[in-house]
Structure 1
């Protein structure tokens, strides 16, 4: 009888092994053999932005920058020839404009209402404000507070810039702007969404040579990593003047 029990035990062990093998291997329905599935970890996307401003080769890198003084309003408070005037609301806290080369041009709050560059008129509390330096349109803005015309005593910064790559850029007028990881900040917004004139440790506009240059690069909402800013020549620099 011992040999019979040994046979039974052997059959049980073999059957258990077959059952276990079937559990861990799973049947093959392809007729090829046992298939092994390998799971590859899915990479987690990052939010770092690496978009760049397209490279530009300046055909005339040494051509001197043209400086344009915009006098949109005369001493009598009338718009210059070719300018059209529309109503622009109210403003306050009017101080000398950083883009002005002489007195009579101020910047008021809120600048978002188009009061970033305004000409003082002889009519009390009435200002004529420019939208963009290359446009012949003005807004009539009313201010109830005092208008401070004391010169800033600092070198004026351009109201607008035309760059050698064809972009037109206007001086920043408040608001919340995107950033970048290297510490440069936006100083001028351009008519190209991916392009900004940047301010860093050096001069905003490098005027060491007749051909002025600025730093140009990208910004992003996540303060992304960008290549170093590119030096781009300024074709025209627009300032505001009263005479």
Structure 2
């Protein structure tokens, strides 16, 4: 059974600059929402992106991360994905993890679309045999047709996203992590992508996603987690958390 457990997790991001630059520190604090602190044993500073977060996400959960830019949403997802190592605390994940962020990573601009399907698939953990067996289905899902025979460097940004998206959603994950929206391109592909993504999400044992779209959060999540300056402020039914956060923002506090 898929499950995520974070126990007293803290994440500090080092800033390799002198701590005395108060203007820069103020700008960083505003931009990240984290807590700026002296870096022990140095003249630098750290951003405390997450502080003492304990969180259990059971099989069947659909959790939406809510909060302002820099509240810690993306950091949480990257800790769950194993990209960020916590400064303190422990992380336990049961089940195969797939993430839909940085979805273009692991692709070669000089390789063709077909070759990049294999490269991206192997980066995601497929064997060459498995990804080659799925290549035709993935190629059809991209809607790129003969462009799959062309080098990736000739693609527009939207075409590259189509390709990466189709490969990423060919997995059958137990734990699915999504950061913000998927820029899938034109309206026709977006409709197709939404259908594919909905099926993809439905097969996951656990979903954790961050988005600023309340409609998207309500459509795909049953539970909300409101983050504020790296700390959990509220957790509960998605409508209740969205309502509380919206009231907080509208109050101007």
TM norm. shorter chain > 0.5: no
Write 1 or 2 for the structure with the bigger share of helix. 2
Structure-1-length-normalised TM-score: 0.25
Based on CA coordinates, which of the two structures has the bigger radius of gyration?
Answer: 1
